[in-house]
Structure 1
């Protein structure tokens, strides 16, 4: 099996997910937080020399670009969440944005192989469970700049066609498909998340819509609620649901 042709890696540590019930609760006045650290060595004890690049190096060395995915020219940005518990174990692996089932399976395999290689996150001196998020770009081109340009072009085209389908043609199902395809390449694009959520809401999938809009908030929404878009949908039932989430109600 061929090695990954090209991987770009981004790691996001979600500090809001701390304090899950792996350790007893304590009463504290000030909180000092240290995120989980990847050591790259099973049952590693001396954490003083942990390098922030260890995880990137490990994933780059161990992830394989599945042959079936290559044959199908499957490309995109895989986003995966997982917890590192108070014992340094990897748990609750969740695919946030999948490129294809073969790549999903490969990412889960490699992340599971890191079990026991983590220094747990620390909250005020006590090991706690923390959530991490990893984004990995799978591309057949092998060139970071070309890949980025290609992915942006595809996502932009999907957004434009999706907006046309939704607002001008009233085809919410087709629009949702286009926004989803765009997110395969640019899963953190807030416009795609916003519009896919709107399509889902209008099609009766209110839970899916709220998931997209909540994700928007998690990413640090920069949506302008005074924009023409919000004026256009004002009065819709979806408008009330969307603004409530963006305003934290």
Structure 2
């Protein structure tokens, strides 16, 4: 920290100029770092009005670029910023082998005399996807149910991330009105987050986190692996 850099900002190398030639442009990874410093750098209250102009000047960023930056950061899938919590998707694991499930045949299907194909087989598969919140590893185990071209997931209730999912899925009112000894509360979730070195989350952040997890547990690489497993089973 120096007089020229009193907020200890990280020098980054811009990739060039934007179309109007009014500000430097940065790689997505660099923009994330700039964004984090904008919101996470501890600034004394009497210096707040000075910080933002200094940040803009330090990185040679114009007002317009900084104003639209939130849209840019939201589009960075592998470095997602959710209300100051950096969430990343990690590896997946197939924990147990494919299990065939007995599905009761649809009566309408049986009565369809023109149909000669067999009803599609259903399978379940135990899986785990690892997530990171501020670089803290968070496991997320789930049972994958596959039936034809569709699938659904049923999440465990053991890890903190799984508990967060059920806190949102079960509904906030149920946690308020139910037995607090049997359910997780926002306070107990935040207590566990803080114990891991992760900042507390409000309800909006919790819901954003669960939406992100649900959108990310199955990716193209995992689908390719699952298709191979299904092909071998058939």
Q: Give the TM-score normalised by the residue count of structure 2.
A: 0.26
Query: Relative CO higher for 1 or 2, CA cutoff 8 Å, sep ≥ 6?
Result: 1
Q: Give the TM-score normalised by the residue count of structure 1.
A: 0.25
Highest Rg: 1 or 2? 2
